[in-house]
Amino acid sequence: MIPIPAIDLKNNKVVRLYKGKFDEATAYELTPVDAAQKWIDLGAKWLHVVDLDGAQTGEMKNLNSIKEIIKKFGNVPVQVGGGVRSDEAIKKLLDLGAARVILGTKAVPDERIGAVVGTMWELSNEVLQYGEDKIAVSLDCLDGHVTQRGWTETSPRKGTDLAKYLESVGIKTIIYTDIARDGTLQGPNFEGIISILDEVNVKVIASGGISSLQDMEKLKTLTSKKGNVLWGAITGKAIYEGKLDFKKAMDICLTNA
């Protein structure tokens, strides 16, 4: 399992939200590039960069910072999300050098049959056009149900159902976040993570609530009924506030991986 540091951007500053609430953001003194440098120096194999302004408004606002990170650290793959709601946005990020583009709201169909079919076709086409390794979907859940539009709306659709749907259209990487745990340092929703691992045979990356090396150790050993394990785990607040030693997390998670 790969520990992945999060670099969440708001107004081109590094921040962390509390339970996905934009009015409860903690800003850090590190610049986006300095944050990337810090985690790479400690052994990061991937970076997770999110444009929070984009997630909230639907239009990416932190492209300059994202571009600077990708350009300076071209040897470390960067997955980017937040406000990616068009093919043009996907193409722009891939052209900038993003290793993987994360879709959120764009990948969640409403309940009308026509909309479901249209979204299925669109996602399938994007996987075919850009490659299955270039597209991921962020499965952000609250009480087991999918949230969208910057976590401000909750869909009646269950996360497990959407996970199966995403696999059916060719998505090979899912990032599962429990919004109620995100930024709380209360520990991950292990039950929710297992429920996703039980349903799909794709790469699953967990996020939300990670607070300690013990959390990382437990995440590493999670195994579904099918024998699936986590591909990665995203950590943010814990490493920025010194609750989790990122280098030790790398050593623990990559040992005998």
Q: What is the CATH number of the domain that holds 207?
A: 3.20.20.70
What percentage of the chain carries pLDDT values higher than 70? Answer: 91
Residue 152 pLDDT level (bands cut at 50, 70, 90) = low
pLDDT for res 226 = 86
Most confident of 47-61, 68-82, 111-125: 68-82
Q: Are residues 177 and 168 in contact, defined by beta-carbon separation less than 8 angstroms?
A: no
Specify the range with the lowest mean pLDDT, choosing from 43-52, 173-182, 195-204, 228-237: 173-182
Alpha helices by DSSP H, 25-178: 32-41, 52-57, 63-72, 87-96, 113-130, 159-168
Please give the helix or strand (H or E) that residue 156 lies within, else none: strand 153-158
User: Is a pLDDT exceeding 90 seen at residue 206?
Assistant: yes
Q: How many domains does the chain have?
A: 1
pLDDT for res 172 = 95
pLDDT for res 110 = 55
Active-site residues, by number, are 8, 140
Q: Which regions of 163-239 does DSSP assign to beta strands (E)?
A: 173-178, 203-207, 232-235
pLDDT for res 137 = 93
What is the average pLDDT value for the chain, to the nearest integer? 89
pLDDT for res 250 = 96
User: Is a pLDDT exceeding 60 seen at residue 116?
Assistant: no
Residue 119 pLDDT level (bands cut at 50, 70, 90) = low
pTM for the full predicted model: 0.91
For residue 186, the enclosing domain spans: 2-254
User: Which whole number is the average pLDDT over 146-172?
Assistant: 82
Contacts of 207 (CB under 8 A, 6+ apart): 6, 48, 175, 176, 177, 178, 182, 233, 234
pLDDT for res 70 = 97
User: Is a pLDDT exceeding 50 seen at residue 112?
Assistant: no
Contacts of 203 (CB under 8 A, 6+ apart): 172, 173, 174, 231, 232
Other Cβ atoms within 10 Å of 23 Cβ, number? 6
Strand pairing of 13-18 and 153-158? unpaired
User: Which whole number is the average pLDDT over 41-54?
Assistant: 96
User: Is a pLDDT exceeding 90 seen at residue 118?
Assistant: no
pLDDT for res 145 = 84
End-to-end CA gap in the chain = 6
pLDDT for res 59 = 87
User: Is a pLDDT exceeding 70 seen at residue 151?
Assistant: no
